[in-house]
Amino acid sequence: MKSLVRCALGALLYSTVALAASWSFEDASISVSGKAAGVGGASKEKLSPNSPLTSPLALPAADSLKVILTTTEGSTGKRAHQAFLTLHEPTTGLEESFPFSVKENGKGKVEVTQKDLPFQFLTSTQPLKASLVIASFGSSTPYNQHAFDLSIETDAAAAPAVPSPPERYTSQPEIRHMFKADPRSPPAVISLVFTLAVLAALPALLGAWLLLGANLDHIGKAFNASPVAHGLFFGSIIAMEGVFFLYYTVWNLFQALPAVLAVGVVGYVSGSRALTEVQDRRLAGER
Amino acid sequence: MNLRVLGLLLALLGAVAALSAQGSKLLVVLEDEAEKSKYSQFWASLEDRGFQVTYKSPKDSSLSLFAYGEPAYSHLLVLPTKAKGLGPNLTPNLIVDFINAGSNILLALSAQLSVPSAVSSLLLELDITLPPDRNSLIVDHFNYDTQSANEQHDVLLLPSPQASRKDVKNYFSVDGLIAFPHTVGQVLGNASPLLSPVVKAPSTAYIYNPKEEFESLEDVFATGSQINIVSAFQARNSARFTVLGSVEALEDKWFDASVQLPGAGKKSEKTANKAFAQKLSAWTFKELGVLRVGSVSHYLNEGSQKGVSNTTAVGAALDINPTIYRIKNDVHYSIEMSEWENDHWAPFTPAAGDALQLEFSMLSPFWRLDLQPTAQTANSSIYSAEFKLPDQHGIFNFFVEYRRPFLTSVEEKRTVTVRHFAHDEWPRSFVISGAYPWIGGIWVTVIGWVIFVAVWLYSKPAQPKRQLKAGNVKR
């Protein structure tokens, strides 16, 4: 029997007739009023328990939203233990409830200003969903219905302070290391042109020397006078370049230095003999 | 590190050991020996799982959480007491020390006994706030048990708890409704990442003081899903502290009780309290969500070692975990992770939307990469990543820091030196086209020098000079 009654209640929840054992409200009105607006300046709308308001209400920064209603159990006004205006922010799912102050006869009111709202509500891009929850102890069916939408109009000059998000243990965005750019060469054509220009300096130099009368005519004379000294000295000059070439390609410094030393000693000793021969030629007026 | 030692001990102890990854000694603090029988199924479940349960009254002078400076028990279960506090052996200070020593606590509250201020202040240390009225309880006129609380609506019936975030594993899901009679609601602080809600109240719930039932409810402490019925705190040392708002949920009476939600068409059904109590105690006492790191390896992933997947097959030829790398080296990193599941180590998989991440860092991370699962063994999974070392030399760390709600934290740091290019590792000048003019210049100088020496040594004087000398002779 009892369950039958409850079945009937569930079916009639949306009907206008409030049955004995079901919580609802009547004489409900909602108004948004500012301090500047007078008594008549407030916008006021009627709320019905069965259908939400179609257009969203706007709540400007300085104004306050006021809901007045009479909670009823069945058709008589009675104080419900729980009479909440619940605001729900659809993107974050955050909910905040504002209790009505209800008198013994069921008359209740609640006032909400932007100061009462958490910052998530103030920064929400979508309108908040407001619902009315009226319930109490006992077996009467509780009431919980969407009543209206509320869009928050924040003051552009005084934007709400958004605190930095609290620390949570979660995976963090990936970091991919940005490498410095590799060193680049200029276009190969330019390098080639300048290489050719540098290489062309050698024939130019040799040509200039030839014009000035440079020759190797005394080579036989010099080698006849002191063949060993000249051979070793000129050989050591070439060998030194060879050592440098090996250092550039395969050797390290510790392999190159003894070789430089050895070639240097040979060059020094043979060089002093060879240059003596050159001096003899000079003194003989052949240079 | 501590866990690994414990895991080794566990393996040695074999069948004798508890199913907890930490230890088997459990202390239950309850005031009245007679109360014990109310929870007999819960005790039996704990003992079946291998816990050595010790029951003590808070008034017992032999009760001590520490023995010789070390925690005397691995786990502590505190039932609500009628007394105003928990006594001199269970002060908030000692309990915090107990947590700091790595032990786990399950604290049960009840709205039928007023909550001692010692407990409130202990919870405040963890940023959990209880309602200021000691007798306040959660009521919900929409989700209550019509069979036992038709008038008072103080036995909440809630569906299986959902994970609070998408990237968090849910260790507490059960089939069916869970009954929470006479629940003390908790409100969690927002700042701490160590706190996580386990069971939240439904959106129509609120907290009230039954002594003020007939007065108007103008100032509610908390409403809706901001109220927590069960909340969990996991300290930095992975010690766990769970607050259960309703101790009666653990009673035999509510294990498999039949309950019914209000409203037409709702049927009477069995509660899932037994399964939930098992899961909640299993998580708190580290039978669930304990992570272990097996081998960690990194090696050069270039030259002959490129693409080597099975490091053991190559054997000694492979240079595993070298201490030094060069900048821009390709390296391979892998880490073996296991998760303790009730009685065995199982391969660990993060929740969907979550990732195990590797940082390669010197002061700040240069790379942060999601590690990919590459292989799996019977009781571990291997995660790896391959990347090119940054072009910055210095002392770097391969750092895996994995801290998540409900999982013990993992911090694995391997320090390596990253050196610069050696002088003979740069590209030679002859492969750089920009260097050709300079190389050409050097060759021109070499050849020019040799020819100059030859000309200087062997040149015959030019003709005009001789004429000048001849003129001199004539004079």
Report the CATH number that the domain containing residue B312 is assigned in CATH: 2.60.40.10
CB-CB under 8 Å, B432 with A180: no
State residue A35's pLDDT score.
Answer: 66
Question: Rounded CA gap, B132 and B115, in Å?
Answer: 10
CB-CB under 8 Å, A138 with B441: no
Residues B298 and B254 in one domain: no
Would an 8 Å CB–CB cutoff place A1 in contact with chain B?
Answer: no
pLDDT band at B267 (very low <50, low <70, confident <90, very high): confident
B78: number of Cβ within 10 Å? 23
State residue A7's pLDDT score.
Answer: 45
β-bridge partners, B53: B26
Q: Which residues of A touch B369 (CB under 8 A)?
A: 174
Per-residue pLDDT, averaged over A186-210, amounts to 95
Kind of pairing, strands B104-108 and B240-244?
Answer: parallel
Residues B117 and B171 in one domain: yes
Look at residues B382, B409, B424 and tell me which one is the last residue of a structural domain. Answer: B424
Scanning A30-69 for CB atoms below 8 A from B yields none
Q: Which among A83, A84, A166 is the nearest to B191, CB-wise? A: A166
Question: Rounded CA gap, A99 and A136, in Å?
Answer: 13
| pLDDT tens, residue by residue, B202-242 | 999 999 888 776 666 677 888 998 999 999 999 999 999 99
Q: Which residues of B touch A177 (CB under 8 A)?
A: 360, 366-367, 387-388, 390-391
The whole-angstrom distance between A38's CA and the closest CA on chain B is: 28
B381: region left, alpha or beta (phi > 0 left; psi from -120 to 50 alpha): beta
Residues whose CB falls within 8 Å of the CB of residue B475, separated by 6 or more in sequence, listed in order:
none
Write the DSSP string, B177-241: BEEEESPPPBEE-SS-TTEEEEEEPPTT-EEE-GGGTTS-----S-BGGGSEEEEEEE-TT--EE
Residues B131 and B211 in one domain: yes
Would an 8 Å CB–CB cutoff place A103 in contact with chain B?
Answer: yes
Indicate whether B8 pLDDT > 90. Answer: no
Residue B50, both tokens: 């291998």
**Opening angle at CA B244, ends B29 and B275, nearest 5:** 100
B63 near B57, Cβ under 8 Å? yes
The whole-angstrom distance between B46's CA and the closest CA on chain A is: 30
Distance of CA B412 to the CA centre of its chain: 12
Q: Which residues of B touch A199 (CB under 8 A)?
A: 440, 443-444
CATH fold of A2-34+42-153, please?
Immunoglobulin-like (2.60.40)
Residues B363 and B258 in one domain: no
Percentage of chain B modeled with pLDDT above 90: 66
Residues B207 and B125 in one domain: yes
Question: Rounded CA gap, B147 and A137, in Å?
Answer: 14
State residue B140's pLDDT score.
Answer: 92
The whole-angstrom distance between B420's CA and the closest CA on chain A is: 14
Segments making up each domain of chain A, as ranges: 2-34+42-153, 210-283
| pLDDT tens, residue by residue, B419-435 | 999 988 999 999 999 99
Would an 8 Å CB–CB cutoff place A286 in contact with chain B?
Answer: yes
Question: Rounded CA gap, B208 and B185, in Å?
Answer: 10
pLDDT band at A285 (very low <50, low <70, confident <90, very high): confident
A281 near A218, Cβ under 8 Å? yes
CB-CB under 8 Å, A205 with B448: yes
CB-CB under 8 Å, A217 with B460: yes
B438: number of Cβ within 10 Å? 14
Look at residues B424, B447, B465 and tell me which one is the last residue of a structural domain. Answer: B424
Name the residue in chain A with its Cα closest to that of B328: A179
CB-CB under 8 Å, A194 with B437: yes
B19 near B342, Cβ under 8 Å? yes
Question: Rounded CA gap, B72 and B315, in Å?
Answer: 45
pLDDT band at A15 (very low <50, low <70, confident <90, very high): very low
| pLDDT tens, residue by residue, B140-181 | 999 999 988 888 899 999 999 988 888 899 999 999 999 999
A207: number of Cβ within 10 Å? 10
Name the residue in chain A with its Cα closest to that of B206: A82
Residues B148 and B248 in one domain: yes
Per-residue pLDDT, averaged over A8-37, amounts to 64
Percentage of chain A modeled with pLDDT above 90: 43
Residues B410 and B452 in one domain: no
Question: Residue for token digits 């934290």?
Answer: B409
Question: Rounded CA gap, B18 and B25, in Å?
Answer: 9
Distance of CA A85 to the CA centre of its chain: 39
The whole-angstrom distance between B110's CA and the closest CA on chain A is: 20
Per-residue pLDDT, averaged over B367-390, amounts to 94
CB-CB under 8 Å, B219 with A215: no
Name the residue in chain B with its Cα closest to that of A141: B263
Residue B411, both tokens: 């911090």
| pLDDT tens, residue by residue, B41-66 | 999 999 999 999 999 999 888 899 99
Residues B93 and B154 in one domain: yes
Indicate whether B188 pLDDT > 70. Answer: yes
CB-CB under 8 Å, B193 with A167: yes
CB-CB under 8 Å, B404 with A237: no
> Mean pLDDT over all residues of chain B?
88
Residues B107 and B150 in one domain: yes
* Helical segments of B101-187, H only: 117-125
Residues B402 and B443 in one domain: no
A81 near B213, Cβ under 8 Å? yes
Residues spanned by the domain of B469 = 427-474
Scanning A162-191 for CB atoms below 8 A from B yields 166-177, 179-180, 185-186, 188, 191
CB-CB under 8 Å, A169 with B403: yes
State residue B195's pLDDT score.
Answer: 94
Q: Which residues of A touch B150 (CB under 8 A)?
A: 138-139
CB-CB under 8 Å, A99 with B193: no
Question: Residue for token digits 């060469």?
Answer: A185
Question: Rounded CA gap, A222 and A277, in Å?
Answer: 7
The whole-angstrom distance between A141's CA and the closest CA on chain B is: 8
CB-CB under 8 Å, B455 with A167: no
Q: How many CB pairs under 8 A join A and B?
A: 193
B29 near B264, Cβ under 8 Å? no
CB-CB under 8 Å, B444 with A201: yes
CB-CB under 8 Å, B265 with A137: no
Counting the structural domains of chain B, the total is 3
Indicate whether A160 pLDDT > 80. Answer: no
CB-CB under 8 Å, A192 with B204: no
The helix (run of H) or strand (run of E) holding residue B394 is strand B394-404
Per-residue pLDDT, averaged over B304-308, amounts to 76
Question: Residue for token digits 């243990």?
Answer: A169
Of residues B459 and B265, more confidently modeled: B459
Indicate whether B11 pLDDT > 60. Answer: no
Preferred mutation among A168, A273, A277 to probe B, highest tally of B CBs within 10 A = A168
CB-CB under 8 Å, B404 with A95: no
Residues B212 and B110 in one domain: yes
> Mean pLDDT over all residues of chain A?
86
Residues B228 and B257 in one domain: yes
Question: Residue for token digits 């699962």?
Answer: B373
* Sign of CA pseudo-dihedral B437, B443, B446, B452: negative
Q: Which residues of A touch B370 (CB under 8 A)?
A: 171, 174
State residue B316's pLDDT score.
Answer: 56
Rg (C-alpha) for chain A, rounded Å, is 52
Lowest average pLDDT, out of A81-90, A99-108, A157-166, A240-249, goes to A157-166
